[in-house]
Copies of this chain bind each other. A is one copy, B any other.
Amino acid sequence: MFPIIGVIGGSTCEEEICKIAYRVGELIAKNNCILASGGLGGVMLHASKGAKDAGGLTIGILPYGKEEANPYIDIAIPTYYGMARNHLLVRSADVLIAIDGFVGTLSEISFALNEGKTVIALNSWKLEKEKITKGNYIEVSSPDEAVELALREIR
């Protein structure tokens, strides 16, 4: 069974964030992990592209049908649950990396914490630490640090 690292973030992103997402995807693939995302644009697309360019395998847990998937998704799961697919993405991943993002990303971060998972955050939401009574929310400052921590979580 392959370890799965979930990458969550906005469906649109600025250039700098796109590069960070790409590098995260690249490192996930180079470390022989599968990258799971929501399968759409922005952070999801650039992370998936990074993984594909490095020879990795990508999963997209989609809100609706397969036609939505970005071009770098190998395995498309068309849930037709709308944004409730966020829950499923979280459950699919052994650990998550949050990059930037808006309320959709926050719903994934918080659901992951509530399920007791570790979320590694890069330029993402600031949360009131004392209210996080389940899971781990770790803020890092580089893609390399994020993936290194994610790998440590899996092994």
Using a CB–CB cutoff of 8 Å, the interface residues on chain A facing chain B are 1-2, 4, 34, 59, 66, 69, 73-84, 86-88, 91-92, 101-104, 106-107, 109-111, 113-115, 125-128, 131-135
Contacts and interface: CB of A to CB of B under 8 A. Distances in A.
B134 A102 contact: yes
A128 B131 contact: no
A76 B76 CA distance: 14
A34 to B, nearest CB: 6
Copies of this protein in the complex? 4
Contact of A91 (B34, B80, B102, B114): B80
A59 B2 CA distance: 11
B106 A110 contact: yes
A107 B87 CA distance: 10
Contacts of A73: 1
A115 B83 CA distance: 8
A142 to B, nearest CB: 21
A38 to B, nearest CB: 12
Contacts of A91: 77-80, 84
B92 A78 contact: yes
Contacts of A81: 80-81, 84
